[in-house]
Structure 1
Amino acid sequence: MTRVVVTGLGVRAPGGSGVKEFWSLLSEGRTATRGITFFDSSPFRSRVAGEVDFDGAAEGLTPQELRRMDRATQFAVVCAREALADSGLPLEAHAPERRGVVLGSAVAAATSLENEYLVLSDSGRDWLVDPAHLSPYMGDYLSPGVAPAEVAWTAGAEGPVIMVSDGCTSGLDAVGYGVQLIQEGSADVVVAGATDTPITPIVVACFDAIKATTPRNDEPALASRPFDATRNGFVLAEGAAMFVLESHASARARGAHVYAEIGGYATRCNAYHMTGLKKDGREMAEAIRVALDQARLNPTDIDYVNAHGSGTKQNDRHETAAFKTSLGRHAYDVPVSSIKSMIGHSLGAIGSLEIAASLLAIENDTVPPTANLHHPDPECDLDYVPLTAREQPTNAVLTVGSGFGGFQSAMVLHRPEVTAV
C-alpha cells in the first residue's frame, strides 16, 4: 500500500497566527480562551470562547476574496497557502487533475448565513424580507461545497474536491479520506484539513440549549478543564488547519521535509444516540485497533495519545475506557493530553488542529499538557500530563475524535523510519 506523509502545514488557532505561535502556546501550557468579543453574549448561558485574532487583509486576501468568502473559508484558504508554501512542493510537478482537496467542517458558513439573515430581517424583526438586501454571495454561503472549491482554486486542483461534514470528527476524517485518495491512485497530492468559525449567536444558543458548553464565565482562561473533576462542559472555539499530503516516495525523491507518516486511520459509529455515548467506548476502541493494524504498530509503540478531551463528563470517561480497551496495560503508561484545554473546541476543525499538534509533538519530541487539570477525576485515571509539557522521545502518536451522531475516529502518525511489526 502507498505510504502517505505530511510535508506541509498551515494553522490558524486561538492565541496565535501561525504554526510557530500555535506550538508555542501548546508547549508552554498557556490558554487562549476568553470572554466572547464577537457579539453581545450577555443573554447566553455560556459566554466564553476560543476566538482567533484574524485580519484577512493582513493575511493577503484581496478585497474581492474578503467580500465573497465566509470567515471559515478565509481561514481554510490562508492555511492552505501556508501549507503549500511550507511543503516547498512545486505544483507544476503534478498535473492539475492529479491534485485533490478534502476539506472538513461541521457548520460551514454559519457566520455569513447568520449575518445575512440579521440584515434581511432587521435583526429578526421582520418576517417578510426584502430580497433586494440579499448578498450576491448568499448562494455560496448556503453551499458547503464552495469552501473546498476555493481551496482548490488556491492549489490549482482539478482532481477530486470533497467536503466532509460529520460533526466534530470532520477534521480527522477529511485528512483520512485525503490519504485514501492517494492510496487508491485518484490523486498524487492532496491538500486536506478542516475549518470552522462557529462563534455566532445561533451556534452558541444551540449548545446552550443542550448544556454542552461550560457556564464558567467568570474564569474564561480556566474554563476548559478536560479530565478534571470540576469540568462542566466544553469551550466553543474557531480555527483551521490544512496539510499537504503526498506519497512517501514522492517526498523522498524531492528531498522534502516530512513531518510524519499517516500510518493508519479508521472511523466507526455507535448507532446509539445523537449526543449520548456508551460507557465502554467500544466503537472508539475499534477505530483505534484498526488504525494500529493499518500502521502495523503495537499498542506499546504509541508514545503519546492526543485525546478528544472535550471537558464533558461523559466524553472524558468514554474515551478513557476506549484507551484501556484498545491499548491494554499500555494505556496506564502512555501520556495522554487534550489541547482543547488551551484552545477550546472548534467543532469540525479541531480534529485537524489536533493532527497539527500531534505532528509538532513528533517534530519536537514534546508532549503538550492538559491545562487547568488540578483536580483529576478518579474515573479518569490515566496519565493526562497535567499543566506542564513533557519532553520525551515521541515517534508515534495516536489522535482520536468523537462527534455528535456517534462518530468515533482514530489516526496513527509516526516518523517514517519507525519499524512496523
Structure 2
Amino acid sequence: MNRRVVITGIGLVAPGGTGTKAFWELITSGRTATRPISLFDATAFRSRVAAECDFDPVLHGLTPQETRRMDRATQFAAVATDEAVADAALAFDVVEPGRLGVTVGSAVGCTTSLEREYVAVSDGGRNWLVDHGYAVPHLYGHLVPSSMAAEVARRVGAEGPAAVVSTGCTSGLDSVAHARELIAEGSADVMVAGATDAPISPITLACFDAIRATTPRNDDPEHASRPFDVTRNGFVLGEGSAMFVLEEYGHAVRRGATVYAEITGFASRCNAFHMTGLRPDGREMAEAIRLALAEAGARPADIDYVNAHGSGTKQNDRHETAAVKLALGARAYETPMSSIKSMIGHSLGAIGAIEIAACALALRHGVVPPTANLHTPDPECDLDYVPLHARRQDLDTVLTVGSGFGGFQSAMVLARPGERAA
C-alpha cells in the first residue's frame, strides 16, 4: 500500500508571533525576530543573541496545571497542535482513535525544565548529592522526551502510533516524514505531526559556545543571522514549534478539507564522517535530494523553490550550495533558494517542521520568502538566495532540506494539491 499524504492543518509558535498568520507576515516581510537574550542573564556567554518566542501559555489557552506540568517546548507543541487541529476543521471524535497517531520531533527535549530543576535540587550546583524534595513532581516527564508525544496524543485522543523522532537539526523533517510513511503504508489515516524545541538555556549556549558555532555578533542582534553573506560568523539560536494535521489524500477529499500541500518525496542520509564537520562537496545531501525527487517523480526542472537549511555558518552554507548544484545541475542557478533562519533563527529540532510550514504557505500564496541580511554574498555561494525581499512567483513543487550535527541530511518534496496518478 502506498497512499498519498497531504497537509490539511498548520499550527505554529515561532519568534515574531504565535500563529500561522503572524509567522507568514514576518517571514515575507524580511523583518527579523532576533534580539538580545531575555529569558535569563546571558552576560557570561560568547553568543548572547537569540530568536525568542513571545509566549504566554495562559493567553494561548493552557491551564495552570498544564503550564506547570509541561516544559516550555511541550507547551509550544500543545498550542501549535491546537491551531493545527482547528485549522484542519477535522472532528477528531469521528476519527477511529486507533487510526489516529502522533509524531513529535525534538533535538534537545525538555532541556529548559531539566536544567531549571537540576539547579533547584543541587542548590545551584553546590551539592553533588541532590535533594529530590525540591524537584517538581513532573520531573520524570521532563527527563523522557516521549512525554512530548504523550501530551499531544492525549490532547487529540490519539491511540494509534506515537513516537518522538530525535535526529538533531533534521528532527522536524524526519518526524513529519515518519508520520507520512505511517499513513502511506496504511498504519494510520490521520497523523498529528511536527516538532518542537525550546533550547534557549544556559547549558545550550555553553554547548554551542564551546564549538564556536553560534554568532558573537552581540552588538547588532537584528542583523546577526546572515546566511550566505560573506560576513556571516555563526548561527543564531531560536525556539518554536510547528505541528500539522496529515491525512490520507482520499480521506481529506471526502470530507472537503482544505489541502495546503502534498508530501510527494522524502529521503535522508548520514555522512558517517564527523560529529560537526561536513565534506565540502555536499555529496550526502545531494543524494538525499536526488532520492526525494525520484520518489516524487520530479525532475530538477520541476523544482520552483528550495527552502535552504541556510544556518549561517560558512561550512554549512558552502556545503549546501554545493549539494544543490550537484543534485539539480544547471537548474540550481535558475531556482530561488532562501533561508528563513535569517529571520527566526535556528530552533534546532523544530526548524525543519517550521520550514515545512513555510513551504506549504509559499505554495498556497505564491510567494518565496527572502533571505534577510544578505548584502554581500560569499563568492562561493553563487545561487539565487532571494536577498532581502520576498518574491511573487508561481510555485507548483518545492524542495526543503535539512542538515544536522552528526552528519544527518534530509530532503523533502512538497507539491501543490491536485489530481495525479496514485
**TM superposition score normalised by structure 1:** 0.99
* Residue type at the aligned position of 2:83: E
> Does the alignment pair 1:193 with 2:194?
yes
Q: How far did residue 92 of structure 1 move? A: 2.6
> Does the alignment pair 1:379 with 2:380?
yes
Any idea what the Cα deviations from partners look like across 1:74-123, whole Å, max 9, x if unmatched?
10011111101100111133210110000000000000000001111222
How many Å separate the matches in 2 of 1:95 and 1:74? 26
Preserved contact between residue 30 and residue 371 of structure 1 (Cα < 8 Å): yes
DSSP 3-state at the match of 2:263 = strand
The within-5 A match list for 1:18-417 is 18-417=19-418
How many Å separate the matches in 2 of 1:20 and 1:210? 36
How many Å separate the matches in 2 of 1:332 and 1:414? 21
How many Å separate the matches in 1 of 2:419 and 2:223? 37
Taking only aligned residues, the RMSD between alpha carbons, in angstroms, comes to: 1.1
Q: How far did residue 126 of structure 1 move? A: 2.3
Preserved contact between residue 79 and residue 241 of structure 1 (Cα < 8 Å): yes
Any idea what the Cα deviations from partners look like across 1:132-153, whole Å, max 9, x if unmatched?
1121111000011001000000
* Residue type at the aligned position of 1:118: V
Preserved contact between residue 295 and residue 420 of structure 1 (Cα < 8 Å): no
Q: How far did residue 420 of structure 1 move? A: 7.7
Any idea what the Cα deviations from partners look like across 1:207-232, whole Å, max 9, x if unmatched?
00000000000000000010000000
Any idea what the Cα deviations from partners look like across 1:339-361, whole Å, max 9, x if unmatched?
00000000000000000000111
Q: How far did residue 248 of structure 1 move? A: 1.0
Preserved contact between residue 105 and residue 167 of structure 1 (Cα < 8 Å): yes
- Matched residue pairs, number? 421
How many Å separate the matches in 1 of 2:301 and 2:421? 12
Structure 1 range deviating more: 381-390 or 92-101: 92-101
- Note the residue ranges of structure 2 that are not aligned, 5 or more in a row: none
Change in CA separation of 1:268 and 1:250 when aligned onto 2, cut-off 3 Å: same
How many Å separate the matches in 2 of 1:123 and 1:197? 21
How many Å separate the matches in 2 of 1:76 and 1:284? 28
How many Å separate the matches in 1 of 2:103 and 2:180? 10
How many Å separate the matches in 2 of 1:81 and 1:272? 40
How many Å separate the matches in 1 of 2:401 and 2:130? 44
How many Å separate the matches in 2 of 1:292 and 1:305? 12
- Note the residue ranges of structure 1 that are not aligned, 5 or more in a row: none
How many Å separate the matches in 1 of 2:352 and 2:359? 10
DSSP 3-state at the match of 2:262 = strand
DSSP 3-state at the match of 1:382 = coil
DSSP 3-state at the match of 2:288 = helix
How many Å separate the matches in 2 of 1:113 and 1:356? 29
How many Å separate the matches in 2 of 1:278 and 1:119? 42
Q: Using the aligned pairs only, state the percent identity.
A: 66
How many Å separate the matches in 2 of 1:76 and 1:156? 15
How many Å separate the matches in 2 of 1:30 and 1:134? 40
**TM superposition score normalised by structure 2:** 0.99
DSSP 3-state at the match of 1:176 = helix
Preserved contact between residue 296 and residue 420 of structure 1 (Cα < 8 Å): no
Detail structure 1 runs of 4+ shifted over 3 Å in the superposition. Answer: 418-421
Preserved contact between residue 46 and residue 216 of structure 1 (Cα < 8 Å): yes
Change in CA separation of 1:250 and 1:410 when aligned onto 2, cut-off 3 Å: same
DSSP 3-state at the match of 1:231 = coil
